[in-house]
Amino acid sequence: MKKVITLCLLCISSLILAKEPIKALIVTGQNNHNWKDSHLILQKILNESGVFTADLAITPSQGQDMSNFLPNFSAYKLIVLDYNGDAWPAATNNAFLEFVKNGGGVVVYHAADNAFRNWKEYNEIIGLGGWENRNETDGPYVYYKDGQIVRDNTPGPGGSHGQQHEYKVEIRVKNHPVTKGLPESFVHSQDELYDRMRGPALNMTILATAFSAKITGGTGRDEPILWTVNWGKGKIFHTVLGHVGGEKEHPSIDAWFSRTLLRGAEWAATGKVTQIK
Ligand code: ZN
């Protein structure tokens, strides 16, 4: 009898351990960044976590026929956007919006928030964007000042950054599943510090900011670094961290980048964070 019970306990524990990984799809193929490195970095982080299994959807290159780029978004729980390039076919845009509307998770990674300035819903999903001639018509600047969120309608360009440097990231919402248990701040390795981001900023929670010092070419404001957006039933995690350029080394891909990415990705896909790292 004792043996039977022991065996059953083993069965149960192996069932728990054999929890299905979350299916993720990384969308890439065009970017003003080094997407050939970045999408593999993202895939490795996701797969090695044991929490996700990540497939790739790679678009044709810039200027090529995009009409056959029709990923099956609905087969996934999470879409990771590492894309900044030509417009997708209307059917793909619609399928992406359906995916989010129906509760799909999205990770917006670094320059994915430069993409698709003229796609209204995409801008609602990313919350804030930059570059591509964004300005006051795209929404307010959003940042922290004296511990308060400021929505600033001052006219001006959206999206810039000073010189790359190491900087402190400050957690602003400590009881969110993505940030719970993290220290109040952490030092992130050399990276771009996006500033002057602007957009609709609806249903948005700023989880973390970093001070963009004027001495490094920044704004003198506490700029949003990690945030979430709710759109339809979908959950979006946006990280501006992780610049990957043409250099061999990518210092921005540090443990804090991975840790916050994985937590945000799991929350976007499931609403929970089980990872203790
Ligand atoms: Zn960059």
CATH classification at residue 167? 3.40.50.880
**Strand 105-109 vs strand 234-239: parallel, antiparallel, or unpaired?**
parallel
Distance CA 51, CA 275 (A): 8
Distance 144 CA to ligand 1 centre (A): 22
pLDDT given at position 275: 82
Residues comprising the chain, all counted = 277
| Structure confidence by residue, pLDDT tens digits, 60-100 | 999 999 999 999 999 999 999 999 999 999 999 999 999 99
| Structure confidence by residue, pLDDT tens digits, 164-195 | 999 999 999 999 999 999 999 999 999 999 99
Q: Is 58 inside any structural domain? A: yes
Q: Taking every pair of C-alpha atoms in the chain, what is the biggest distance, in angstroms?
A: 76
Distance CA 200, CA 118 (A): 12
69 in helix, strand or coil? coil
Q: Is 8 inside any structural domain? A: no
Cα distances (angstroms) measured from residue 99 to each of 74, 153, 160, 269: 6, 31, 30, 12
Residue 121 · residue 92 · CB < 8 Å: no
Q: Is 6 inside any structural domain? A: no
> Does the pLDDT of residue 250 top 70, yes or no?
yes
| Structure confidence by residue, pLDDT tens digits, 218-233 | 999 999 999 999 999 9
Distance 242 CA to ligand 1 centre (A): 7
| Structure confidence by residue, pLDDT tens digits, 143-161 | 999 999 999 999 999 999 9
Distance 193 CA to ligand 1 centre (A): 9
Distance 33 CA to ligand 1 centre (A): 6
Distance 150 CA to ligand 1 centre (A): 24
Distance 44 CA to ligand 1 centre (A): 19
Q: Which band of pLDDT confidence, cut at 50, 70 and 90, is reported for residue 214?
A: very high
> Does the pLDDT of residue 5 top 90, yes or no?
no
Q: Is 63 inside any structural domain? A: yes
Distance 159 CA to ligand 1 centre (A): 11
Average pLDDT, the chain: 94
pLDDT given at position 19: 79
Cα distances (angstroms) measured from residue 45 to each of 35, 39, 40, 167, 263: 15, 10, 9, 22, 12
Total structural domains in the chain?
Answer: 1
Q: Is 266 inside any structural domain? A: yes
Distance 50 CA to ligand 1 centre (A): 27
Distance 5 CA to ligand 1 centre (A): 56
- Please give the model's pTM, rounded to 2 decimal places: 0.93
pLDDT given at position 277: 64
Q: Is 277 inside any structural domain? A: no
Distance CA 7, CA 13 (A): 10
Q: Is 15 inside any structural domain? A: no
Number of Cβ atoms within 10 Å of the Cβ of 163: 11
Distance 131 CA to ligand 1 centre (A): 11
Distance CA 112, CA 240 (A): 9
Q: Which band of pLDDT confidence, cut at 50, 70 and 90, is reported for residue 1?
A: very low
Q: Which domain holds residue 49?
A: 21-270
Q: Is 1 inside any structural domain? A: no
Distance 59 CA to ligand 1 centre (A): 20
Average pLDDT over residues 266-276: 93
Distance 12 CA to ligand 1 centre (A): 46
Vertex 186 angle, CA 84 and 267, to 5°: 55
Distance CA 72, CA 242 (A): 26
